[in-house]
Amino acid sequence: MSKKLSLSRRTLLRGAGALMALPLLERMVPGTARAAEALPTARRLAVFYVPNGIHMQKWTPTGTGATWELTPSLQPLAPVKSDVLVISGLANDSGRPDGDGHHAAGTAALLSCTKAFKTEGTDFHAGISMDQVIANHLAQQKATRYPSLELGNDAGRGIGNCDSGYACPYANNISWAGPRTPMAKEARPKAVFDRLFAGVDPGTTQAQIEKRRAYGLSIIDFVREDATTLQKQLGATDRRKLDEYFTSVRDLEKQMEALGQQGPTCGSQVSPSEDEDPRTKTKAMMDLIVLAFQCDLTRVATFMLANARSNKVYGFLGLSGGHHAYSHHQYVQSNYDALARIDRWEVEQYAYLVRRLKESQDGPGASLLDSSLVYFTSEVEDGNAHIHRNLPVLLAGKGGGAVGTDRHLRAPGMPIANLYISMMRAMGVPNVTTFGADGTGELAGFGG
């Protein structure tokens, strides 16, 4: 490296067959941009899906506009309230099934607003999801190494009936590259970590990778010499940011070790066991999304906290019943109370992602959250009545200035596809005027 160090956003640390991406450093930003403290042009999208709907009585704020207050279920958002837009009243009528199967049909249409063809076989048919429209647009620019990242806590089943005659791909995926192409998610944090941060030179064998793990070596150990050389030529701010980044990477590695996750393997794949702790796994996935955005490895990520119609038992919340069973509350107060506990915990996980993005720098004077849209929703409003209107919607981040936050926006009966049109436009997708079955234009009030 020369004394007049010049770094691109694609710079990698190298050593002993290992490659490691870097976060955005001031040295990577042109001097004129640093002087002007301009906001970065990159936009990012993260989607956070939860199954079975929400107990809306403890969710929906009473005030509108800037007068809104946090409800019990939204209380975990207190540290980032000024960065959040709550939207109520949006509908996704395309999620209504033929007969039963509201969860799978609603999840298939969640981001596509296209009705899923009811089948248990391989002739499933849905629609392209809005995240993949954005990913396709960014791929044309060759902006990142990965067009998108699909994550989830549960791998799910393959083909077969997963909800009243609806095939499992509908229940297991929210991201669709096309009507016949669900984007299968990765449910193993270690595999995601290896894919993103522990890249290896083509000549490195799986045996060498496993040897590194057996000796408990960090990817940082392999690129340390290159990192030391780099740090000597950086300013104080960049050195501090690089130290924080290395700490985050090492913390993630320790999380992977604690989870006992293995890297990618060939052959049969085993679904996660029911006793996996979703608290640990979700935190690891959120940290992976933040670092992937920080290193500009991808700008589009989706996460499923659980698959549609999940009946997980959240014992750590003091509950003995399954989530889906509680969602069929039958207007029983104890079931409402259980749902409210689950809802609040789900919002805590979302709030953690939002906070981490807000704490991560993205160029001079801006955070990753400033340039991001972080979207939270479920496939139905109420799991008992299977309502596909008044869906629970949160949107955090300003999308580079496109979104007016710290508000409660009421949009009764408006298609959620209109929100997606606004989000796609905010992410730079040009000439989007319609989307899905009923999107007719941008959502009124989206920008404030």
Rounded to 5 degrees, what are φ and ψ at 318? 80, 20
Looking at residue 242, its pLDDT comes to: 83
Looking at residue 271, its pLDDT comes to: 33
Looking at residue 266, its pLDDT comes to: 25
Nearest C-alpha neighbor of 345 from the set 374, 368, 367, 316:
316
Does residue 48 contact residue 350 with C-beta atoms inside 8 Å? yes
CA distance to 189, 285, 434, per residue, from 256 (Å): 7, 10, 42
From the number of C-beta atoms within 10 Å of its C-beta (0-12, 13-18, 19+), residue 312 rates as: buried
How far apart are alpha carbons 26 and 28 in whole angstroms?
Answer: 5
Torsion region of 347: left, alpha or beta (phi above 0 gives left; psi -120 to 50 gives alpha): alpha
Tens-level pLDDT at each residue, the chain (448 residues): 444 556 776 677 776 556 777 877 877 766 544 444 444 469 999 999 999 999 999 999 999 999 999 999 999 999 999 999 999 999 999 999 999 999 999 999 999 999 999 999 999 999 999 999 999 999 998 878 899 999 999 997 778 999 999 999 999 999 999 999 999 999 999 888 888 865 544 455 556 666 656 656 677 777 788 888 888 888 888 888 788 788 878 888 888 777 765 433 322 223 333 337 999 999 999 999 999 998 888 999 999 999 999 999 999 999 999 999 999 999 999 999 999 999 999 999 999 999 999 999 887 788 999 999 999 999 999 999 999 999 999 999 999 999 999 999 999 999 999 999 999 999 999 999 999 999 999 999 999 8
CA distance to 2, 140, 367, 396, per residue, from 83 (Å): 41, 30, 12, 5
Q: Which long-range contacts (CB under 8 A, 24 or more apart) does 209-215 make?
A: 209/263, 213/263
Rounded to 5 degrees, what are φ and ψ at 11? -60, 135
Does residue 354 contact residue 83 with C-beta atoms inside 8 Å? yes
Nearest C-alpha neighbor of 299 from the set 174, 424, 180:
424
**In degrees to the nearest 10, what's the CA dihedral of 161, 167, 170, 176?**
150
Looking at residue 34, its pLDDT comes to: 45
Does residue 69 contact residue 62 with C-beta atoms inside 8 Å? yes
Q: Which helix (H) or strand (E) holds 302?
A: strand 300-304
How far apart are alpha carbons 37 and 43 in whole angstroms?
Answer: 17
Is the CATH code 3.40.720.10 the one for domain 43-187+277-448?
yes
Does residue 140 contact residue 186 with C-beta atoms inside 8 Å? no
Residue 248 token pair:
């985050």
Rg (CA), the chain: 22
Looking at residue 18, its pLDDT comes to: 67
How far apart are alpha carbons 423 and 134 in whole angstroms?
Answer: 9
Looking at residue 272, its pLDDT comes to: 34
Does residue 93 contact residue 140 with C-beta atoms inside 8 Å? no
How far apart are alpha carbons 105 and 114 in whole angstroms?
Answer: 10
User: In the chain, which residues fall in CATH 3.40.720.10?
Assistant: 43-187+277-448
How far apart are alpha carbons 257 and 262 in whole angstroms?
Answer: 9
- Tokens 């990477």 identify what position? 249
